[in-house]
Amino acid sequence: VHREREQWGTRAGFLMAAVGSAVGLGNIWRFPYVAYDNGGGAFLLPYLVALLTAGIPLLVLEYTIGHRYHGSPPLAFRRLHRRAGVLGWWQVAICVVIAAYYAVIIAWAARYAGFSVGQDWGDDPEAFLLGDFLQVGDAGWITSYVSGVLWPLVAVWVFVLAVLALGVRRGIERANRFFIPLLVALFLVLVVRALFLDGAAQGLEALFAPDWGAITDGTVWVAAYGQIFFSLSVGFGIMITYASHLHRRSDLTGSALVAGFANSSFEILAGIGVFATLGFMATASGVAVADVAQSGVGLAFIAFPEIISTLTSGAGLFGVLFFVSLVIAGVTSLISIVQVVVSAVQDRTGMARLPAVLTVGGGIALISIVLFPTAQGLHYLDVADHFINQYGIVLAAFVVVLVVAWALRRLPALRAHANLTSTVRLGAWWQVALGLVTPVMLGWMLWDSLRQEFEENYGGYSDGFLLAVGWGVAIGALVVGVLLSLFPWRDRDTFVPAEL
Ligand code: PHE
Ligand code: NA
């Protein structure tokens, strides 16, 4: 069953979708504290090097594989080499895990947009988050369900599945063309407002004051490459999938450059907004910026509520803007992750879009809804996120680069393919970046995080819990990927269409 792939309506539509996928929770809450922790202004140097030597080259690689082989990751890799399909299935399994918990953070943010209006978190946002809202219990088996998280989560899934059911052009492209400009507008208003807060300058000073000593520190470079990989969402097939819907004559390298720089610009903008706001908080409570800066979940759901409550005017609006921005950034990324899985199942089975969205998307939604709106949900999310990032995404990217560049030696052919239709021609540097710089940095990152894993238990969790939820999920994704690849494709379903 070889059928026509749906195509993007316009180049701008594809770019919006690619930017929508890249710009996510990581830009708003991850970049600011990673930069702050790793040398502030001096971090921008390793960050830029990481963008140019690994981020953009990998983005180009994924666009080119998707465009050349015209399929979701399992089909595209199967066409690249008879035995490479397993790489794609592994990526699909990773996407299932990420989608299941990523949706939950969006649901929290949606609920917090509502809480912002009346500052329902009272005067102890931390106690409110962990107690009243999430009702966090001990790490272990599920002890109870939390209905305050359940219904926003159901709403997120209904929305995402509805967009996917409408298809690439009428669903994904239209949603991104609407949401991405809206996100930029909302976020600009938020950042400008933040810059006018008392103390904004101290916040920016804290973020950007360069600590030049940091750039001789290896862990800062690891952090820079880690941020770039996470932020561009390269390494697990999202861009292969989106690029598989491109027209034959598409500007692959130009699109990768635009998407890469748009993502970084948004990230730096978020850093400015977040730190201006933290500077305000520090000034208002007479402490140093370092004392109010928090990482991850704490930044968005504890520090921001505290800040919003401290505002004397426009507090509700400020909160709504912040949390709605998080929701939009997150939803457009979630759409792209689930689409990988839907598209892979369609490619493999020939199933039509609607039944594929209902069964595959519905299945992921079910896992997400059963596991996460629970007293243990926060622990599951925390551990699954850490392990699937390190030993799913980063490891898969490492293996993909080694296979494509070294085992199969496909970089010259892929480079020639990209150069057929692209404006910016790829030079030899692209092969050096992907063949040498990227694997060395990815290998180093893996080594570094493995070392830490055995030095101390992540997050202070017990061995059993980390084994079940952390290693179990990361290794489980690999095992599921291998099992899925064992159902052989028929050759006539995977031939590479001649016109490509
Ligand atoms: N790139 C996204 C961000 O910056 C993160 C993401 C992770 C997106 C996984 C899709 C899938 O937040
Ligand atoms: Na990003």
How many whole angstroms from 32 Cα to the centroid of ligand 1? Answer: 15
Instruction: Report yes or no: 154 and 105 within 8 Å, Cβ to Cβ.
Output: no
Instruction: Report yes or no: 101 and 372 within 8 Å, Cβ to Cβ.
Output: yes
The angle that helices 73-80 and 315-349 make with each other, rounded to 10 degrees, is: 50
CB-ligand 1 contact for 25 (6 Å cutoff): yes
Share in percent of the chain as helix, strand, coil (round to 5): 80, 0, 20
Distance, in Å, from the CA atom of 309 to the CA atom of 284, rounded to the nearest integer, reads 11
- Residue 14 neighbours by CB under 8 Å, 6+ apart: 8, 173, 242, 245, 246, 250, 255
pLDDT value at position 490? Answer: 76
Distance, in Å, from the CA atom of 478 to the CA atom of 90, rounded to the nearest integer, reads 5
**Closest alpha carbon to 235 in 95, 27, 426, 46:** 95
How many whole angstroms from 21 Cα to the centroid of ligand 1? Answer: 7
Pocket mutation for ligand 1, best pick of 94, 233, 239, 326 (most atoms within 8 Å of C-beta): 233
pLDDT value at position 4? Answer: 78
Specify the residue with its C-alpha closest to ligand 1, atom 6: 233
**Closest alpha carbon to 2 in 394, 348, 374:** 348
pLDDT value at position 488? Answer: 78
How many whole angstroms from 257 Cα to the centroid of ligand 1? Answer: 18
- Nearest atom (ligand 1) to Cα of 263: 4
Pocket mutation for ligand 1, best pick of 19, 242, 333 (most atoms within 8 Å of C-beta): 333
Ligand minimally distant from the alpha carbon of residue 334: 1
How many whole angstroms from 411 Cα to the centroid of ligand 1? Answer: 26
pLDDT value at position 433? Answer: 97
Instruction: Work out the angle at residue 81's Cα, subtended by the Cα atoms of residues 78 and 83, and round it to the nearest 5 degrees.
Output: 75
Q: Which residues are in the CB-under-5-Å shell of ion ligand 2?
A: 22, 26-27, 231, 263
pTM: predicted TM-score of the whole model, two decimal places: 0.96
How many whole angstroms from 61 Cα to the centroid of ligand 1? Answer: 18
Distance, in Å, from the CA atom of 218 to the CA atom of 216, rounded to the nearest integer, reads 6
CB-ligand 1 contact for 98 (6 Å cutoff): yes
pLDDT value at position 29? Answer: 84
- Say which residue the tokens 């994904």 belong to: 172
CB-ligand 1 contact for 24 (6 Å cutoff): yes
Residues of the chain with pLDDT under 50: 1-2, 499
pLDDT value at position 1? Answer: 42
- Here the ipTM equals 0.96
pLDDT value at position 363? Answer: 98
pLDDT value at position 236? Answer: 83
3-state SS class at 179: helix
Distance, in Å, from the CA atom of 69 to the CA atom of 494, rounded to the nearest integer, reads 9
How many whole angstroms from 456 Cα to the centroid of ligand 2? Answer: 29
CB-ligand 1 contact for 96 (6 Å cutoff): no
How many whole angstroms from 195 Cα to the centroid of ligand 1? Answer: 26
CB-ligand 1 contact for 233 (6 Å cutoff): yes
CB-ligand 1 contact for 337 (6 Å cutoff): yes
- Residue 426 neighbours by CB under 8 Å, 6+ apart: 60, 253, 415, 418, 419
CB-ligand 1 contact for 422 (6 Å cutoff): no
55, 125, 268, 281, 340 from 291: Cα distances, Å = 32, 16, 21, 10, 40
Q: What are phi and psi of 145, to 5 degrees?
A: -95, 155
How many whole angstroms from 228 Cα to the centroid of ligand 2? Answer: 8
- Say which residue the tokens 């899985």 belong to: 341
